[in-house]
Structure 1
Amino acid sequence: MNTMILAMGIFFGGMAQVIAGIMEFKKNNTFGATAFTSYGFFWLSLVGTLVMPGLGMGEAASAKSMAAYLFMWGFFTLGMFVGTLRISKNLQIVFGFLTLLFFLLALGDFTGNEMISTIAGYEGIFCGFSAIYGALAQVLNEVYGEEVLPLGNVTTVKKTAKIEVATSK
């Protein structure tokens, strides 16, 4: 790990996402608030897990404990993926591949198989590019006031029950 990776984990992966999550909370966007704050704190906790032993603050995580950590994040992300089924195709791709990424990383750590970890790395690159595309699409679509880059928004039909109240005179 070099300082560039750690700094990105703290500031862009961690703090920026927590701030974005708070902003989404203020907009009453439960999905966005949960996703951004959770993954922001994921990055902060991951950097802490990697850096703290070097500072004499605890022992380094074993491969098995790191596998459990990543597995639980995969399980959480699977639940978030279900939420994307009502939002957009782009988020389905991002969260679907992020779920797969966490499970592959966990499996790689659990088994010690370098090939699984390498596959996870390539899969993570695809996942990252999908997320960057989604972010750029949202920005450009908003700036231009039209769909410049498609996100595959899912249209949902809300079923509402109409209750007719009879009034007597």
Structure 2
Amino acid sequence: MIRKLTRIIRLQYLKLIRAQGATSLIARSFAIGLFIEFITLPTMGLAFLMLFPLIKWFRGSFPVSLIGFTLGKLIVPFFLVLNYKVGAMLFNQQGALMMESFFTLDSIKEHGLVFLTGSALDGLGMAIVCYGLVYAGLVMYRKRKEIRRLQRQVQ
């Protein structure tokens, strides 16, 4: 099981590294996919439909954005509490969630908006960080690849 998961992650990594196109385009597409994954849970999956127009609008690569979206599925569970806390801080809400009042329509609307706002802000922050990391990683990989190619030509 773990071996299979490791192989899948490695395959996605190789697809990302070997993707054709400008490094900024690949990094931007990855960041868009990650951002959309952050806001998917509060919108009950409807945010995935935003992926298509955003990729067209930013002229990104759809396969690379799907890699970012998939990686986001592994990252987002660690941010769920932080997403709610950030949203609650913005809306000046204090106190913990009460189970009795959580299932009323007003409570769902209120807490859903708080969670969506926090998720969007955290997702934006993670997208910016991942854009920088993917961009730097691609630049380093392509430089090393070019150096190896030149060394093989000399020999």
Structure 1 or 2, whichever has the larger Rg, is 1
Please indicate, yes or no, whether the TM-score normalized by the shorter chain is above 0.5: no
State TM-score, norm by structure 2: 0.29
Ranked by relative contact order (alpha carbons within 8 Å, sequence separation 6 or more), the top structure is: 2
State TM-score, norm by structure 1: 0.28
